[in-house]
Amino acid sequence: MLAKKTLARKEAPDGGAEDRRDALGVSRLSLAVGAGERAIPLLADVTVRVGRGETVGLVGESGSGKSLTARTALGMLPRGARATGSVTVSDVDVLSAGRKTLRDLRRTRASMIFQDPRASINPVRRIGDYLTEGLRARGVPARAAAERALDLLDQVGIRDPGSAVRRFPHEFSGGMLQRVVIAGALSTEPELLLADEPTTALDVTTQAEVIALLKNMQQVHGTGMLFVTHDLDLAAAICDRIYVMYAGRIVEESVSAALFTAPAHPYTRALLEASPSVHGDKVAIKAIKGRPRALAESPSGCSFRDRCPLAGDDCAASVPAHRPHGTSLVACLHPEQVTP
Ligand SMILES: Nc1ncnc2c1ncn2[C@@H]1O[C@H](COP(=O)(O)OP(=O)(O)OP(=O)(O)O)[C@@H](O)[C@H]1O
Ligand SMILES: [Mg+2]
């Protein structure tokens, strides 16, 4: 397991209170595609904040809305989607910002690393052009940008950066290309880095190197990082705070260490029990019964209630509001039955 570094800001969850120093503030974000009766809700009431220099995890099963949340944070909404609530990145109001403002934001102050490096990089442009683009947008002269590109490639462990800048994406393996994408994301020393399962496609050794790189760059530049993953072990190792998502909603938020020892939501506990690495191999792994739900098909009241061993009639009445329990903010009526 990766060593947990000293944390820049370790604090109790605060329910997403806006802070001018925050790298990301998502407040009561709801997202739906389609209009009128045909509207399909995808996210509901999502509140997430990432402080400067902080690493914040976003975990949950496939389809829970992690990528939608990360993409919406940079104004990349699905076609035909409508968002309500607010999203602030480095003082930019993302949901009302125009195209140019968003493009500038993405080029300079906020970066995103996607799970699949090939999907996020133009296949017909040389790596050098890809890396200098953001720097040039920030007004860095061409020669200085070219030198910085070489330096970045060296820092992310690409051998012979001089020849790498002349190569095209298809000439790199997946792991090497992910390093290039990370170099690109870090080229502008962003205030916010959204990392959407950046290491899922990589082997464990490369994964550890890439994570170390991200943490190092983050510490040097004070970048706030939202780290999307379904790997709880990895989240435990690198995150200061963690948000747990289920069916398009945040169901629990806690400081990382406490979430793993004292989960407050039955879903969080179920995720932990289903994770072999967090529990060690002596404890029987329990699969979560049923299948994950999308927001549109989740039951009334608590979305998790049809899979929850603790659910009672009261859970069907309305969506539970977030309330404090231990170090968590949890959307459950019975957290004391999960961890007293
Ligand atoms: N453009 C879209 N139009 C309609 N529904 C969408 C769209 N994009 C995503 N969804 C739905 O929204 C839900 C959340 O998707 P999202 O990609 O955010 O999940 P995720 O948590 O990132 O999952 P994974 O771990 O598999 O990456 C899913 O049910 C998905 O089918
Ligand atoms: Mg995803």
| Choice among 68-72, 102-106, 285-289 with the minimum mean pLDDT | 285-289
Q: Looking at the CA of residue 42, tell me the nearest atom of ligand 1.
A: 12
| d(C-alpha 288, C-alpha 282), whole Å | 18
Q: Work out the angle at residue 11's Cα, subtended by the Cα atoms of residues 267 and 187, and round it to the nearest 5 degrees.
A: 90
Task: Confirm or reject: Cβ of 63 under 6 Å from ligand 1.
Answer: yes
State the pLDDT at residue 7: 33
Would you list the DSSP string of 169-230? GGGS-HHHHHHHHHHHHHTT--SEEEEESTTTTS-HHHHHHHHHHHHHHHHHHT-EEEEE-S
Q: Chain-centre distance of CA 77, in angstroms?
A: 15
| d(C-alpha 253, C-alpha 271), whole Å | 14
Task: Confirm or reject: Cβ of 64 under 6 Å from ligand 1.
Answer: yes
Residue nearest to atom 4 of ligand 1 (CA): 33
| d(C-alpha 259, C-alpha 278), whole Å | 11
- Enumerate residues 6+ apart whose C-beta is below 8 A from 18: 25, 27, 49, 88
Sheet with 81-89: strands ordered across: 40-51, 22-33, 81-89, 92-93
State the pLDDT at residue 38: 86
If one counts every other C-beta atom within 10 angstroms of the C-beta of residue 43, the result is 25
Most confident of 215-219, 287-291, 328-332: 328-332
Instruction: Taking residues 16-36, report their average pLDDT.
Output: 82
| d(C-alpha 249, C-alpha 245), whole Å | 5
Instruction: Taking residues 273-284, report their average pLDDT.
Output: 66
* Beta-bridge partner residues of 228: 58, 196
Domains and CATH numbers, the chain: 22-239 (3.40.50.300), 246-337 (no CATH)
Q: How far apart are the first and last CA of the chain?
A: 29
**8: confidence class by pLDDT, cuts 50, 70, 90:** very low
Task: Confirm or reject: Cβ of 294 under 6 Å from ligand 1.
Answer: yes
Q: For the chain, where are the E strands, in sequence order?
A: 22-33, 40-51, 55-59, 81-89, 92-93, 110-113, 192-196, 224-228, 241-246, 249-255, 323-325, 328-330
Residue 21 clears pLDDT 80, i.e. is over it = no
Ligand 1 center from residue 167 Cα (angstroms): 33
Is the alpha carbon torsion for 333, 272, 54, 176 positive or negative? negative
Residue nearest to atom 13 of ligand 1 (CA): 63
Spatial CA neighbour of 52 closest among 13, 15, 19: 19
- Per-residue model confidence as pLDDT tens digits over 77-106: 999 999 999 999 988 999 999 999 999 899
| d(C-alpha 122, C-alpha 7), whole Å | 36
Please report which ligand is nearest the Cα atom of 66: 1
Instruction: Taking residues 170-177, report their average pLDDT.
Output: 90
- Per-residue model confidence as pLDDT tens digits over 221-271: 889 999 999 888 889 889 999 999 999 999 999 999 899 889 999 999 999
**340: confidence class by pLDDT, cuts 50, 70, 90:** confident
Q: Are 30 and 41 in contact (CB under 8 A)?
A: yes
Q: Which of 31, 40, 68 is the pocket-test mutation for ligand 1 (most atoms within 8 Å of CB)?
A: 68
State the pLDDT at residue 20: 53
Q: Are 283 and 296 in contact (CB under 8 A)?
A: no
Residue 10 clears pLDDT 60, i.e. is over it = no
Residue nearest to atom 18 of ligand 1 (CA): 65
pTM: 0.89
| d(C-alpha 90, C-alpha 24), whole Å | 7
Q: Which two tokens stand for residue 210?
A: 């890439």
The fraction of the chain above a pLDDT of 70, given in percent, is: 92
Task: Confirm or reject: Cβ of 42 under 6 Å from ligand 1.
Answer: yes
Instruction: Report the mean per-residue pLDDT for the chain.
Output: 88
Residue nearest to atom 8 of ligand 1 (CA): 78
| d(C-alpha 198, C-alpha 177), whole Å | 11
Residue nearest to atom 30 of ligand 1 (CA): 63
Ligand 1 center from residue 67 Cα (angstroms): 7
Residue nearest to atom 6 of ligand 1 (CA): 42
Q: Which of 33, 42, 295 is the pocket-test mutation for ligand 1 (most atoms within 8 Å of CB)?
A: 42
- 277 or 143, greater pLDDT: 143
Instruction: Taking residues 193-207, report their average pLDDT.
Output: 84
